[in-house]
Structure 1
Amino acid sequence: MASEFTGFMKDMSSHLEAIAKLMNATQERKIEVVEKKKKLLTEIASLTVAHLQANGKVEVANRIILDGLEKRVECSRNTWVDELLPILWAYRTTCKVTTEATTFMLAYGAEAVVPLEITHGSPRVEEYEPETNEEGMRLGLDLIDEVRDEANARNVKHQRKASLYYNRKVKERFFQ
């Protein structure tokens, strides 16, 4: 009887070892799958930034430009070419809600001078000095990375607030 019990215990221990190995293999496989998913999500996230078509920014910009064209060219549709440059200028020099900066500022590190300021005069145009302006532009180019980082931080904050607004009524559910 003791020998049968010893044989039974050996069989049980070998079965338990096999189950433990299987569980470890399953756990390692789960970790491997999770790592692959993380890598894939990282690749997808980096792709959407590089390809603006993927996240709709190009479509929004095109819609804004077409909207401006429709408003400026109501009667004759043939004059849209003449109106395109002022509309593009307006788009580039308009402060965006998410970044609180103009696209011109983010690209060149300085605020654009609006043509109206040149023709009608403004303190900024009247007090223009080439040497001082050159120094200011160099300093602005040195600080452009910080301006872009601040704009990005404001953009992330805006996205987080929008996410909270849209997800405020979502109830979390867990499934087994």
Structure 2
Amino acid sequence: MNGIKKRLEKAKGIWVAELPNVLWAYRSTSRKATNKTPYVMALKFEVVIPLEVGLPTIRIKAYDVSHNVKVLSRSLDLADEQRKNALIRMADYQKQLAKTYHQKVQHKLFSVRDLILRKVIGNTKGPVDGKLDSNWEGPYKVTKLAGKGAYYLEDPEGKPVLRPWNSNT
């Protein structure tokens, strides 16, 4: 989506004319997660770019209608298997991303009566807080354990925080 946004911002006033080209590029570029283009995932066959239609290429010259019908019918038979393979590949890709993302995370276990600071996230940040305001709030005291890495907290006045805090997020 960032690529689409950048291309359309460069086009400025003629973005309406540029949009079909940007969408074509997006739909015909293979994704890392599935190793397939969105066009292939939706329509089950490779796309032919307009330039290949205008200028005869080897791919266009080697096109055989009867062979294409056989290949399409075979690929329709294997569509479910291809979808399953794409799902497996996507799950593996997401697992690799999560592993890389969490590589530098150092888990810290807290015990009851520990004082901690809690990271301010978007929905708890005040509407008037600027970007130079503190990213941490607290201190809070751990009152009891809620599960693996989750804790019940109370503020300095002894008022309990409404929902458990998870130290893994």
TM-score bracket relative to the smaller structure: 0.5 to 0.7
Between Structure 1 and Structure 2, the one with more strand by share is 2
TM-score, length of structure 2 as denominator length:
0.59
Q: Which residue of 2 aligns with 1:103?
A: 38
Structure 1 position 111, deviation (Å)? 1.0
CA deviation map 1:6-29 (0-9, x unaligned): xxxxxxxxxxxxxxxxxxxxxxxx
Cα contact 1:95–1:102 (8 A) shared by 2: yes
Cα contact 1:106–1:144 (8 A) shared by 2: no
1:162 partnered with 2:101? no
Counterpart CA distance in 2 for 1:68 and 1:141 is: 35
* Structure whose alpha-carbon radius of gyration is higher: 1
Cα distance, 1:143–1:68 mapped onto 2, change above 3 Å: farther
Structure 1 position 109, deviation (Å)? 1.2
Q: Which residue of 1 aligns with 2:80?
A: 145
Structure 1 position 152, deviation (Å)? 1.7
Structure 1 spans left out of the alignment, 5+ residues: 1-60
1:91 partnered with 2:26? yes
- Residue identity (%): 34
RMSD, aligned α-carbons: 1.8
Counterpart CA distance in 2 for 1:129 and 1:143 is: 21
Structure 1 position 146, deviation (Å)? 1.9
Structure 1 position 175, deviation (Å)? 4.2
1:67 partnered with 2:6? yes
Runs of 4+ deviating beyond 6 Å? none
Structure 2 spans left out of the alignment, 5+ residues: 112-169
